[in-house]
């Protein structure tokens, strides 16, 4: 744990995005995005499909390269080069499609990055992986392969895998959207307990209940822009922009119908 406690103070933001623009060819996917995430904060990003939520978080660990602007993680600029692997090791990511390594056991999935990237001894990494798998309720499944697990179990392995690197921040891109409804709860429960233990999280989600319960701040996006951000209560109950109002009422009706 102590090894990635940063020298910098806790008041500095862990993620800073400044004037970030992203183009896919002619398509303008992010427009002047400015966002700061403080250590320990849980941020939910909501907005209609295609509004740039995935693009935003994928720029943070440079799975997508930005067109202009600047992103820094823990004071380190996110750019191509030697620092990129360092940044990525500090930023965990959980994907909608889990993306577990199918040729490895569950235990190996969780232990491999600490061994290969951090250079931690195998025995130590595996002991730590076991603890993490117990924490996400998968103690009995460590020797299985991912395709032997349910979607909800796979996503919990993916969370343990990300945690194994002891990242300073965890990014989630719609972690429950590919799950059968009965498995959504088990994954959200794990995420909620992480949030309680002070893990910094940025979560793209359609689970408004989760966002309201767990997030410290909700960011609403549309057309590649951050339209409005506030505490969940304020944003959900008294949104100040017409666009957020329209989006929230549309999903309420969607959920009812």
Partner 1 sequence: MDLLTTFFNIDVLLQAAPLLLKGFWLTIQLGAVSLLISLVLGLLLVLVRLYSPAPLRWLAVAYIDVFRAVPLLVLLILVYYALPFVGIRLSSFWAAAAALSAVASAYMAETFRAGIEAVPKGQFEAAQSLGFGWTRMMSDIILPQAMRMVVPPTTGVSIGLIKDTALGSVVAMPDLLKQATQTQAFYANPSPLVGAALLYLILLLPLVRLVSVLEARKKPSR
Ligand X SMILES: Nc1ncnc2c1ncn2[C@@H]1O[C@H](COP(=O)(O)OP(=O)(O)O)[C@@H](O)[C@H]1O
Tell whether residue 121 is a contact of partner 1 (CB under 8 A). no
Nearest to 160 by CA among 204, 195, 126, 129: 129
Nearer residue to ligand X within complex by CB, 24 or 134: 24
The Cα-based distances of 109 to 100, 136, 244 in angstroms read 7, 14, 39
Tell whether residue 246 is a contact of partner 1 (CB under 8 A). no
Tell whether residue 54 is a contact of Mg ion (CB under 5 A). yes
For 141-241, where are the alpha helices, taking DSSP H only? 151-164, 181-196, 208-214, 232-237
Nearer residue to partner 1 within complex by CB, 102 or 254: 102
Minimum distance from residue 77 beta carbon to partner 1 (Å): 16
Minimum distance from residue 222 beta carbon to ligand X (Å): 9
Answer for the pair 220, 47: CB distance below 8 angstroms, yes or no. Answer: yes
Residues binding Mg ion: what is the number (CB under 5 A)? 1
93/15 Cα distance (integer angstroms): 14
Residues 157-196: x where in contact with partner 1 by CB under 8 A, - otherwise, as a string: ----xx--x-------------------------------
Nearer residue to partner 1 within complex by CB, 84 or 248: 84
Which of 5, 34, 68, 97 touches partner 1 by CB under 8 A?
97
Tell whether residue 92 is a contact of partner 1 (CB under 8 A). yes
Paired tokens of 83: 């620092």
Residues binding partner 1: what is the number (CB under 8 A)? 24
Candidate segments 16-24, 47-55, 118-126, 161-169, binder of Mg ion by CB under 5 A: 47-55
């Amino acid at each position: 744990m102590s090894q990635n406690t940063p020298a910098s103070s806790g008041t500095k933001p862990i993620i800073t995005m400044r004037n970030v623009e992203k183009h896919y060819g002619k398509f303008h996917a992010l427009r002047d995005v400015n966002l700061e995430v403080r250590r320990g904060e849980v941020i939910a990003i909501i907005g209609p499909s295609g509004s740039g939520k995935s693009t935003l978080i994928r720029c943070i660990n440079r799975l997508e390269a930005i067109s202009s602007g600047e992103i820094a993680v823990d004071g380190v600029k996110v750019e191509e080069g030697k620092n990129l692997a360092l940044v990525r090791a500090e930023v965990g990511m959980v994907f909608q499609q889990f993306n577990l390594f199918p040729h490895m056991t569950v235990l190996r999935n969780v232990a491999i990055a600490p061994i290969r990237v951090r250079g931690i001894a195998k025995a130590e990494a595996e002991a730590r992986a076991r603890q993490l798998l117990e924490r996400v309720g998968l103690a009995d499944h460590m020797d299985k392969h991912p395709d032997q697990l349910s979607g909800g179990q796979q996503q919990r392995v993916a969370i343990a895998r990300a945690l194994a690197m002891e990242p300073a921040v965890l990014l989630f891109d719609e972690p429950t959207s590919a799950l059968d409804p009965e498995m959504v709860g088990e994954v959200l429960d794990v995420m909620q307990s992480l949030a309680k233990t002070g893990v910094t999280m940025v979560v793209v989600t359609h689970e408004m209940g989760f966002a309201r319960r767990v997030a410290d701040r909700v960011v609403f996006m549309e057309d590649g822009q951050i339209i409005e951000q506030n505490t969940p209560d304020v944003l959900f109950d008294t949104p100040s922009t017409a666009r957020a109002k329209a989006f929230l009422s549309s999903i309420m009706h969607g959920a009812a119908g």
